Amino acid sequence: MEQKKKTQTSGVKLTEGQTFPLTIKRLGINGEGVGYFKKQVVFVKGALPGEEVVVEATKVEPRFSEGKIKKIRKQSPFRVKAPCPIYEQCGGCQLQHLAYEQQLKEKRDIVIQSLERHTKFNINKLDIRETIGMEDPWNYRNKSQFQVGLQNSKIIAGLYGLNSHRLIPIENCMVQHPATNKVTEEVKKILQKFNISVYDERKRKGIVRTIVTRVGFESGEVQVVLITARKEIPNKDLVIEEIKKRLPEVKSIVQNVNGNKTSLIFGEETIHLEGEEVIQETLGDVSFELSARAFFQLNPLQTVKLYDEVKKAAALTGKEKVVDAYCGVGTIGLWLAKGASELRGMDTIKEAIEDANKNAQKHGLKNAKYVTGTAEHWLPKWIKEGWRPDVIVVDPPRTGCDRNLLDAVRKAKPKKFVYVSCNPSTLAKDLEYLSKEFKVEYVQPVDMFPHTAHVEVVTSLELKISK
């Protein structure tokens, strides 16, 4: 018989299947409850700070354990009933069972925990502000990427369940804009009508892998992207005609081919099928053209608040040279361009840069220029040519800033560095790395994804004056 895993901390043994009492101290970065059993850290999905629970150990590792709730002895006053019927199965949201106002407080605490863990800063002396939330924290996502599969010979679309490869069908996601829900449902029916096969990962057969929909909150325009395993789609013209007939709000139909064995949604080849190549979106008084693969913030309402915080942190007077690194379609840069003397941005995705330059042109911004490539390539080159930025803004992926980029920033020595982060852990590590040259002025959390454990942060840094 296989021996059950045990872990030892100060002579304490914890065994898989064992039940034990636990007081939850805080939320972890994935939204799980965190408690300590005889100094051993235990993560418990669904448990909330302040709760006293009976836990069953489900996974035991040398440095931590995971458990599930068997019983809640003392319930948090902030625990609420999750309104979504598939909340427990889906795993797309992690905090629907926590009152929204309290979610905002816990997200600030997640930022504090990351800074405590990864930096030597005196947290009590840091200006860490209250999290900026939403007035109505539902139906905020402008884009859905639902995998397709078969269930009882019917096409379903949804997300894989938490820690499983079981596809959970989602017909009405409560955090998605209603238009993305409606369009995905109709496209699914159209694929069924014309017998378009869905991709089977195990057999590596079938055609459609994913239905991606994106809506412009202001324009109401919708783009549909069919991610397929191969280029040929049988009855393609009939599918396109049916989408146009049933869904007049769909202004752009695109195909993306991804035949690789990968968890990445998009492949390299994108084919424009019908309608416009882009859809329109407006943030504040800035409008954008969005192509299928262009990165754009998923919560437009909060994006306005986020970018206003970036503008505040940059504190431009009209004289500054600004760099927008990881610029995507130029969203942050366009928000700042009017207050800058010159703005330069870069990104490694060629289509995003094309969109960024088009967007700048459309707004008559002659002082904005976007180039393809990395900041670590362009910054030293520009400095060598005698062009030195006063302000650098970064909005990197979850992995944080590339170390070469941070080195380039340290050498460039801008007066201000504004760091927009979607991952407090990598933010904290990067801030620690920059701390010799830069002083953290303040940290502003923003809730871009209500009911999930994600928190976005705008950090304002200033160059330390050498003595």
Mean pLDDT of the chain, nearest integer: 94
Q: What is the pLDDT of residue 4?
A: 44
- Catalytic residue positions, numbered: 422
Q: What is the pLDDT of residue 355?
A: 87
The secondary structure of 289-358 as a DSSP string is EE-TT----S-HHHHHHHHHHHHHHH---S--EEEEES-TTTHHHHHHGGG-SEEEEEES-HHHHHHHHH
Q: What is the pLDDT of residue 156?
A: 97
The DSSP secondary-structure symbol of 125 reads G
236-246 helix and 178-193 helix, angle to the nearest 10 degrees: 140
pTM beyond 0.75, yes or no:
yes
221-238 tens-digit pLDDT: 999 999 999 999 999 999
pLDDT above 50 for 298: yes
303-362 tens-digit pLDDT: 999 999 999 999 999 999 999 999 988 989 999 999 999 999 999 989 889 989 998 999
